[in-house]
Amino acid sequence: MDLMTILLLAVFAFFIFTMFRRNKKAQQQQREMQSQFAPGVEVMTSFGLYGRIVSIDDAENKVVLELSPGTEATVHRQAVTKVVEPTAPAEDSATEAGLGTGDIPSEAGSAPSSGISLGKDASPAPQEQLNETPEETLRRLNDEGKNAH
C-alpha cells in the first residue's frame, strides 16, 4: 500500500469515529431529557407545539400533552424535544431596567425611524388592552381590519 491510500483510510476512519461519537452524545442527551418527563412538566415538541405533560405511556411510547385547558393531544415520545424552563415575566425585565409598567423607552420628541404611520392611533393603550374581555378584543380587531381597507 502506498502512503496516499493509508492516509485516505485514516481520514475515513476518523470521520466514522466522530460520527458515531456525535450520535452517542445526542442519544445520551435525549435520554437525560426524557428522564425529566413527568406529569406537569412544560415541554415543546419537534414541530413547535407547547404543552404540559398529562400522562406518559412507556409501553407504546406515547405522551399526552395538555395544549390548553380541556385540549389534549397525544404525540410520540420522541416528538417531545425540549423541556421548557419557566422564564421571568416581561414585566420583571422592564422594572429591572428602571422602567415602570407604563413607560416606553423612547427619545423625547423623536419620530418613528421609518417615518411610516400604520394608522393605529385610535387603538387603546396597551394597559387598556390587558383589561379587555375576549369579546371586546374580537370586536376591536374586527374594527381595525375594516378601517384598514
Q: State residue 124's pLDDT score.
A: 54
Residue 148's nearest CA partner among 118, 112, 125, 121 is 118
Q: State residue 10's pLDDT score.
A: 94
Q: State residue 16's pLDDT score.
A: 94
Q: State residue 89's pLDDT score.
A: 57
C-alpha torsion sign, points 26, 27, 30, 31: negative
Question: Mean pLDDT for each 10-residue chunk of the chain (149 residues)?
Answer: 90 94 90 81 89 89 89 89 70 50 48 49 58 80 70
Q: State residue 128's pLDDT score.
A: 63
What is the DSSP code (8-state) at residue 84?
A: P
User: Which pTM value belongs to this model?
Assistant: 0.44
